[in-house]
């Protein structure tokens, strides 16, 4: 109940008022009592002058108590004798009441300290604030003997009535004061609690993420300052959080769309974050809480070593067909290790490229070594034989040497052509050209060769094929190459057919043969450098194994494509597609 600020204020004000009233009451009652007491004593000493006491002593010597009584009675008015105040004459030995103004009260008059003092011969005129009554007691002497004790006793009834009145007044004042205190506490608490309640509401809004609310500054007191500071704080907090949010959004976007995969695990090996690239690389959907050991079962990370170095470490991880390079870094917020962060880099393509480069170098070396070995062998034999060799053999040896060096020249020439095509340094004489014309020129050039091989050679290139843009000489060379292959790898009495047409924005020329074809498994390698189904046959035919690779590069440099279809043992069909410019379509 007293938890609220308001109730605390009410309680404080009530306690404050009660304590103020109590202090005032005690002070007032004490002052009134002292005033009354001193008034009584002053009144007594002004009446009981030494002269009056002497005449009373003289009267007492006569031992006539009624005379003494009458004398005192004569001073009733100045002594204030009345209902509450009486004079008395006491026996000096026993303190017994002998006569006075009120015999009834006199009979039960107590032996006060003043009376006892008077019985010893001294005037008793001390008064205590809290004593039951005020009195003075005067011994009347006759020589050394005390004849009587006279005095006045006041019941303090008037003072008590006065004190009672004061108390009643104080209680009333207290009651009204309490009402005022409660009212004041309401007003006071409102001026304090209303701004605090507003601040509390604003704090609740901020806690729930709403930074737009501002508390109104009502006063320039401490609460006003607090409200202003709080508003400033909300403003700063809001803008800081906005900046942090924007930064986090940027990072999140980067995290989601980056090409590298990122996976993070906590110290117990539980997945805490993963991006889509990582899931794609690992070929599975991951979710928070997945265990490291499930995701990378064969990959143990020596985390201790990593922590000592303070560096990331690199590992190579193969999953399915993918080759991933893993950069593993510790997540440390001071010590100890909080977890690990793994950045995955897909190097499958790079690995493939490296592999094909290695293969290519090995192929080039091999292709060049074979003719070189032959040249060296035949030359050595010729040198060793000297004049012992007959002219015909010598001629045939020199012929081989010539052919082999010729083959080497062709390989080197083809390699240079490929290298130029790879680097985009091959000059092309681009112009509008007719694919039909180029194909027909190629057919014409190859007709004698084909027929010389006993092959039937037909061409059915339709009229009205759209014009294309290209280097006519090179395109023609490509088609010659394809026809030459169709001749070389054909069967005896086979046939070759050159056709053409246009589809899907391309003009195309197909060379179809009824030759050897190539095995289905080799189809993807058909355009690879140095690919040959039968190396010996190809070499015999003077092939380098680079003709198709060059053809493919030239066609692609024209924005076209080259396709190959083959049934092993039955025949093949190679088609060159070149894009038709928009206006020709």
- Does the footprint of ligand ADP cover residue 344 (CB under 6 A)? no
Q: Using CB under 6 A, which of 407, 436, 532, 552 touches ligand ADP?
A: 532
- Smallest gap from residue 574 Cβ to ligand ADP (A): 6
- Does the footprint of ligand ADP cover residue 518 (CB under 6 A)? yes
Q: Using CB under 6 A, which of 261, 515, 560, 579 touches ligand ADP?
A: 515
Distance, in Å, from the CA atom of 328 to the CA atom of 316, rounded to the nearest integer, reads 11
- Does the footprint of ligand ADP cover residue 514 (CB under 6 A)? no
Q: Are 75 and 47 in contact (CB under 8 A)?
A: yes
Q: Which is nearer to ligand ADP, 127 or 443 (CB)?
A: 443
Q: Which is nearer to ligand ADP, 97 or 564 (CB)?
A: 564
- Smallest gap from residue 535 Cβ to ligand ADP (A): 8
Q: Which stretch binds ligand ADP (CB under 6 A): 33-41, 158-166, 281-289, 540-548?
A: 540-548
Q: Which stretch binds ligand ADP (CB under 6 A): 62-70, 299-307, 447-455, 528-536?
A: 528-536
Q: Which is nearer to ligand ADP, 185 or 459 (CB)?
A: 459
Subset of residues 454 to 493 that bind ligand ADP, contact rule: CB under 6 A: 485-486, 489
Q: Which is nearer to ligand ADP, 349 or 493 (CB)?
A: 493
Distance, in Å, from the CA atom of 438 to the CA atom of 307, rounded to the nearest integer, reads 68
The strand pair at 456-460 and 261-266 is best described as: unpaired
Going by C-beta distance under 8 Å and a sequence separation of 6 or more, which residues neighbour residue 106? 86, 88, 97, 99, 100
- Does the footprint of ligand ADP cover residue 24 (CB under 6 A)? no
- Smallest gap from residue 485 Cβ to ligand ADP (A): 3
For residue 433, list its beta bridge partners. Answer: 468
**205 half-sphere exposure, CB direction, 13 A CA radius:** 18
- Smallest gap from residue 410 Cβ to ligand ADP (A): 9
- Does the footprint of ligand ADP cover residue 494 (CB under 6 A)? no
Q: Are 496 and 512 in contact (CB under 8 A)?
A: yes
Q: Which is nearer to ligand ADP, 25 or 571 (CB)?
A: 571
Distance, in Å, from the CA atom of 545 to the CA atom of 501, rounded to the nearest integer, reads 28
Nearest 10 degrees: CA dihedral of 541, 542, 543, 547? Answer: -120
- Smallest gap from residue 451 Cβ to ligand ADP (A): 17
Q: Using CB under 6 A, which of 177, 195, 500, 543 touches ligand ADP?
A: 543
Is the bond into 51 cis (omega within 30 degrees of 0)? no
Write the DSSP string, 492-559: TT-EEEEEEEEETTEEEEEEEE-S----GGGGGGTTSTT--SSHHHHHHTT--S-HHHHHHHHHHHTT
Q: 41 by DSSP, 3-state: which?
A: helix
- Does the footprint of ligand ADP cover residue 576 (CB under 6 A)? no
- Does the footprint of ligand ADP cover residue 415 (CB under 6 A)? no
Q: Using CB under 6 A, which of 516, 554, 562, 580 touches ligand ADP?
A: 516
Q: Using CB under 6 A, which of 439, 513, 552, 580 touches ligand ADP?
A: 513
Q: Which stretch binds ligand ADP (CB under 6 A): 12-20, 77-85, 150-158, 532-540?
A: 532-540
Q: Which residue has the tokens 């092309």?
A: 428
Q: Which is nearer to ligand ADP, 436 or 529 (CB)?
A: 529
- Does the footprint of ligand ADP cover residue 545 (CB under 6 A)? yes
Which residue lies nearest ligand ADP, judged by its C-beta? Answer: 543
Identify the CA nearest to 439 among candidates 509, 494, 497, 376.
Answer: 509
Q: Are 112 and 97 in contact (CB under 8 A)?
A: no
- Does the footprint of ligand ADP cover residue 544 (CB under 6 A)? yes
- Does the footprint of ligand ADP cover residue 510 (CB under 6 A)? no
Distance, in Å, from the CA atom of 496 to the CA atom of 499, rounded to the nearest integer, reads 10
- Smallest gap from residue 564 Cβ to ligand ADP (A): 8
- Does the footprint of ligand ADP cover residue 87 (CB under 6 A)? no
Q: Using CB under 6 A, which of 531, 553, 560, 580 touches ligand ADP?
A: 531
Q: What's the maximum distance between 2 C-alpha atoms anywhere in the chain?
A: 203
Cα–chain center distance at 133? 84
The 3-state secondary structure of 200-232, one letter per residue? HHHHHHHHCCCCCCCCCCCCCCHHHHHHHHHHH
- Smallest gap from residue 480 Cβ to ligand ADP (A): 11
- Does the footprint of ligand ADP cover residue 579 (CB under 6 A)? no
Structure tokens at 504: 């899907």
Q: Which stretch binds ligand ADP (CB under 6 A): 284-292, 306-314, 334-342, 539-547?
A: 539-547
Identify the CA nearest to 272 among candidates 331, 344, 335.
Answer: 331
Structure tokens at 156: 């303090």
Q: Which stretch binds ligand ADP (CB under 6 A): 178-186, 300-308, 427-435, 536-544?
A: 536-544
- Does the footprint of ligand ADP cover residue 512 (CB under 6 A)? no
Q: 65 by DSSP, 3-state: which?
A: helix
User: Which stretches within 453-499 are classed as H helix?
Assistant: 472-488
- Smallest gap from residue 396 Cβ to ligand ADP (A): 24
Distance, in Å, from the CA atom of 73 to the CA atom of 99, rounded to the nearest integer, reads 11
- Does the footprint of ligand ADP cover residue 517 (CB under 6 A)? yes
- Smallest gap from residue 512 Cβ to ligand ADP (A): 9
Q: Which is nearer to ligand ADP, 230 or 531 (CB)?
A: 531
- Smallest gap from residue 290 Cβ to ligand ADP (A): 48
Going by C-beta distance under 8 Å and a sequence separation of 6 or more, which residues neighbour residue 177? 17, 21
Q: Which is nearer to ligand ADP, 295 or 550 (CB)?
A: 550
Distance, in Å, from the CA atom of 139 to the CA atom of 152, rounded to the nearest integer, reads 12
Q: Using CB under 6 A, which of 97, 533, 565, 584 touches ligand ADP?
A: 533
- How many chain residues interact with ligand ADP (CB under 6 A)? 20
Q: Using CB under 6 A, list all residues that contact ligand ADP.
A: 485-486, 489, 513, 515-518, 531-534, 538, 543-548, 572
């Amino acid at each position: 109940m007293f938890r609220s600020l308001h109730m605390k204020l009410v309680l404080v004000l009530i306690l404050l008022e009660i304590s103020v009233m109590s202090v005032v009451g005690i002070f007032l009652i004490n002052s009134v009592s002292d005033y009354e007491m001193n008034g009584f004593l002053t009144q007594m000493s002004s009446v009981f002058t030494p002269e009056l006491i002497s005449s009373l002593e003289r009267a007492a010597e006569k031992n006539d108590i009624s005379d003494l009584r009458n004398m005192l009675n004569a001073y009733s008015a100045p002594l204030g004798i009345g209902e509450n105040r009486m004079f008395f004459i006491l026996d000096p030995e026993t303190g017994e009441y002998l006569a006075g103004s009120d015999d009834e009260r006199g009979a039960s008059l107590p032996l006060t300290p003043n009376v006892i003092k008077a019985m010893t011969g001294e005037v008793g005129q001390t008064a205590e604030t809290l004593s039951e009554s005020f009195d003075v007691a005067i011994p009347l002497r006759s020589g050394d003997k005390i004849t009587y004790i006279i005095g006045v006793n006041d019941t303090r009834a008037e003072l008590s009535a006065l004190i009672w009145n004061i108390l009643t007044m104080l209680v009333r004042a207290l009651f009204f004061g309490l009402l005022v205190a409660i009212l004041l506490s309401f007003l006071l608490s409102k001026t304090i609690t209303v701004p605090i309640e507003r601040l509390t509401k604003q704090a609740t809004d901020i806690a729930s993420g709403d930074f737009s609310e501002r508390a109104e500054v009502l006063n320039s007191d401490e609460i006003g300052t607090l409200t202003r500071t709080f508003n400033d704080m909300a403003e700063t907090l809001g803008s800081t959080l906005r900046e942090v949010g924007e930064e986090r959004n940027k990072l999140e976007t980067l995290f989601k769309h980056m090409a590298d995969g990122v996976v993070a695990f906590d110290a117990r090996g539980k997945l805490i974050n993963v991006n889509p690239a990582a899931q794609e690389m690992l070929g599975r959907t991951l979710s928070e809480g997945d265990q490291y050991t499930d995701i990378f079962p064969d990959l143990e990370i020596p985390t201790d070593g990593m922590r000592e170095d303070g560096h990331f470490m690199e590992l190579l991880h193969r999953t399915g067909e993918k080759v991933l390079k893993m950069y593993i870094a510790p997540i440390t917020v001071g010590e100890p290790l909080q977890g690990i962060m793994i950045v995955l880099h897909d190097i499958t393509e790079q690995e493939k490229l490296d592999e094909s480069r290695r293969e290519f170098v090995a192929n080039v070396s091999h292709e060049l070594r074979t003719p070189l070995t032959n040249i060296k062998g035949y030359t050595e034999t010729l040198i060793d034989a000297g004049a012992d060799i007959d002219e015909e053999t010598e001629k045939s040896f020199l012929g081989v040497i010539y052919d082999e060096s010729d083959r080497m020249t062709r390989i080197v020439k083809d390699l240079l052509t490929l290298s130029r095509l790879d680097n985009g340094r091959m000059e092309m004489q681009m112009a509008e050209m007719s694919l039909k014309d180029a194909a027909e020129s190629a057919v014409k050039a190859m007709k004698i060769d084909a027929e010389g091989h006993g092959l039937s050679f037909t061409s059915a290139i339709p009229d009205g094929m759209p014009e294309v843009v290209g280097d006519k000489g090179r395109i023609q060379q490509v088609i010659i190459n394809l026809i030459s292959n169709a001749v070389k790898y054909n069967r005896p009495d086979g046939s070759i057919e050159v056709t053409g047409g246009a589809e899907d924005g391309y003009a195309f020329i197909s060379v179809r043969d009824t030759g050897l074809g190539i095995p289905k498994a080799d189809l993807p390698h058909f355009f690879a450098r140095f690919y040959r189904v039968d190396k010996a046959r190809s070499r015999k035919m003077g092939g380098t194994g680079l003709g198709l690779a060059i053809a493919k590069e030239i066609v692609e440099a024209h924005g076209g494509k080259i396709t190959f279809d083959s049934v092993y043992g039955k025949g093949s069909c190679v088609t060159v597609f070149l894009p038709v410019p928009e206006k020709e379509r």
